[in-house]
Structure 1
Amino acid sequence: MKDAAREAGETIPGKHGGMQMNEILYEEAEGVARITLNRPESGNAFNQPMADALLEVALKVGHDPDIRVVTLTGAGRMFCVGGDVGDFAKNSDKIGVFLAHLAGTLHQSLAQFSMMKKPLITLVNGPAAGAGMSVAIGGDFVLAAPEASFTAAYCAIGLTPDGGMTWTLPRLIGLRQAQDIILSNRRVGAEEAVGLGMATRMVSGDLAAAGAELAATLKDRAIQTMGQARWLLNTGMTESYVAQMDRELQSIVAAGESAEGREGVSAFLARREPDFKGAN
């Protein structure tokens, strides 16, 4: 990307059927990447072009060393209402292939976000349903506006969850609560979502400003170390206690030998603020 675009922000172009698409807005400044789902007239519902664009930007932010923190939100009143059901109907004669392509592309995007060595902040500005809920709760930090809500939505239209919901949700809130939310399809408001552990906190004021403030704080932290801790947290639920301690042992040794670890210890002993960006 051009330096001017990097500073000023830009729309990520992608190609679908030979046409430019603008379903994802992207801005990057001072180490923070800001991604916005941009189909507000459709509740930011996922169609194939938007899924393709999200994968493109997920690959970029995951592998660009200049990007230290990623935020993701929706344009307009909605965060994301899930898949575009109108597109489902238009492709009813080949729905299996259609869903495999759409969900498969989305899954690649979410896998990239989950594996990147930097934190993801989701700013849930409104209703998040279906795959939109899967995306929303996938952040390391989930900031929710008072008008945000979370609805599984799948069973209401005869479909099953995707976007990693059946992996993420039980780990956040427990199996019994996840069963209730997915099978009953009940709507969870922002305050309840925080209480259950689906969201980090509710933001009554300017959600974008709160997200920018958090991102600005995180970008000066030990990002490589944070990325490794992120990996440990994501894998710890599936490992035995002893096996996970072995992973932690290997990780803390590597962290101690890293530039960030050396800088952090030196700064602590010198009673100064660490320069983790300089260390990298």
Structure 2
Amino acid sequence: MTFDLSATPLVTLEEGVLTLPISLDGKGNALDSDAVDQMGTALAALLAGDLEARAVLLIGLGKNFCAGGNVAGFASADDRSAHVRELADRLHAVIRQLDEVPVPVVAAVAGWAAGAGLSLALTADFSVAGPDTRLLAAYPGIGLSPDGGMSWNLPRAIGQNAARAFILGNEPMTGERGYALGMLSTFVEGDVREAARDLAVRLASGPGESYAAVKALLRASAESSLSDHLDAERDSISRLATSPDGIEGVDAFVAKRAPEFGRD
């Protein structure tokens, strides 16, 4: 690893998990610009191979995951349009990075996930919620429209009609209801952050090459015909059959032992 984490003091790397705060304690856990910038820097290093992480964990450092953008900052900007456009560009650069990283991304959706906070949760591969989780589109409440990919990811998660009703209706939703609809991947009765961390650590010890291939195939499926995608699946599984993780996984299965992935 050549990346110096001291350049991103909010970011931590432990047990193969790159933990990225998206909001800080105070100010209602609004999306924090410095946190977004540090997230982008760390993700760029991960994508460039300068930082070795096997899973990414998104968290809020206060009681909420993220209550959305800093609306007071919107109001005080000299040029509101330019200000909001710049913030959206910075957020969207991170959303693109999260979509591109080859490792699993987990979101610890504790407390409120509203506006851009919910958009980030929808970007994750795994979104862990609990009894205190509350979801809100938020944008219509301040006369704005979604950013962060909400209007792209949400219809794909719960369907066009349900997504339309959720965003336009702008009514809070419990984490349990969001899980039942398919908006969130995981619901736990215990501590959301602890459960999300445990999941990220477990994924970090898993078959990284397999995860990367799965994410690449899923990403490509949106624009592929079935015939072309079948060819891509064939090429991928045959390549992985002679990869370190593929060899270890198959050999461990035959030997009836637990696989040890991540070995060269």
TM-score norm. by structure 1 comes to: 0.86
- What amino acid sits opposite 2:63 in the alignment? R
Distance 1:65 1:258, change over 3 A: farther
Tell me the percent identity: 35
Structure 2 residue 12 is matched with structure 1 residue 12: no
Note if contact 2:23-2:32 (Cα within 8 Å) is conserved in structure 1: no
For residues 118-144 of structure 1, give each alpha carbon's deviation from its aligned partner in whole angstroms, at most 9, with x where no partner exists: 001100111111111000121111101
AA partner of residue 48 (structure 1): S
- One-letter amino acid matched to 1:68: R
1:141 aligns with 2:126: yes
Structure 2 gap segments, 5+ residues each: none
Question: Number of aligned pairs?
Answer: 263
- CA–CA separation in structure 1 for the residues paired with 2:53 and 2:46: 6
Q: Which residue of structure 1 lines up, in the alignment, with residue 63 of structure 2? A: 77
- Of structures 1 and 2, the one scoring higher in RCO (CA 8 A, sep 6+) is 2
- Whole-angstrom CA distance in 1 between matches of 2:36 and 2:132: 25
Match of 1:158 among 143, 165, 173: 143
Partners in 1 of 2:25 and 2:7 — Cα distance?
15
- 1:66-145 correspondence to structure 2 within 5 Å: 66-91=52-77, 93-145=78-130
Q: Contact conserved, 2:11 with 2:38, CA < 8 A, in 1? A: no
Q: Which residue of 1 aligns with 2:208?
A: 223
Q: 1:152 Cα deviation (Å)?
A: 0.9
Mapping of residues 34-45 of structure 1, within 5 Å:
34-45=19-30
Contact residue 43 and residue 79 of structure 1 kept, 8 A: no
Q: Secondary structure at the match of 2:257?
A: coil
- 5+ long unaligned stretches in structure 1: 14-24
Equivalent in the alignment of 2:229: 244
Q: Is the 8 A contact 1:125 1:144 kept in 2?
A: yes
CA contact (8 A) 2:30 2:67 kept: yes
Q: Which amino acid aligns with 1:12?
A: T
Please give the residue correspondences for 1:141-220 in structure 2 after superposition, counting only pairs within 5 Å.
141-220=126-205
Deviation at 1:259, TM superposition (A): 1.9
Do the aligned partners of residues 29 and 257 (structure 1) sit closer, same or farther apart at CA in structure 2, a change above 3 Å counting? Answer: same
Task: Work out the CA distance in 2 between the residues paired with 1:51 and 1:34.
Answer: 13
Q: Give the aligned CA root-mean-square deviation in angstroms.
A: 2.2
Q: How has the CA–CA distance of structure 1 residues 278 and 2 changed in structure 2, closer, same or farther, with 3 Å as cutoff?
A: closer
The question of whether the paired residues in 2 share the 8 Å contact of 1:31 and 1:219 is answered with yes
The 3-state SS of whatever aligns with 2:123 is coil
Alpha-carbon distance in structure 1 between the residues aligned to 2:144 and 2:223:
26
Q: Aligned partners of 1:199, 1:140: CA distance in 2, in Å?
A: 9
CA distance in 2, matches of 1:57, 1:120: 14
Range with bigger deviation, 214-223 or 106-115? 214-223
CA pair 222-64 structure 1, distance change in 2 beyond 3 A: farther
Check whether the contact 1:61–1:70 (CA below 8 A) recurs between aligned residues.
Answer: no
Q: Provide, for residues 192-215 of structure 1, a one-character-per-residue CA deviation record: whole Å limited to 9, x for no partner.
A: 001000111222212222122212
| 1:220 to partner: Cα distance | 1.7
Whole-Å separation in 1 of the counterparts to 2:7 and 2:133 = 25
Asked if the contact 1:61–1:67 (Cα under 8 Å) also holds between the matched residues in 2, the reply is yes
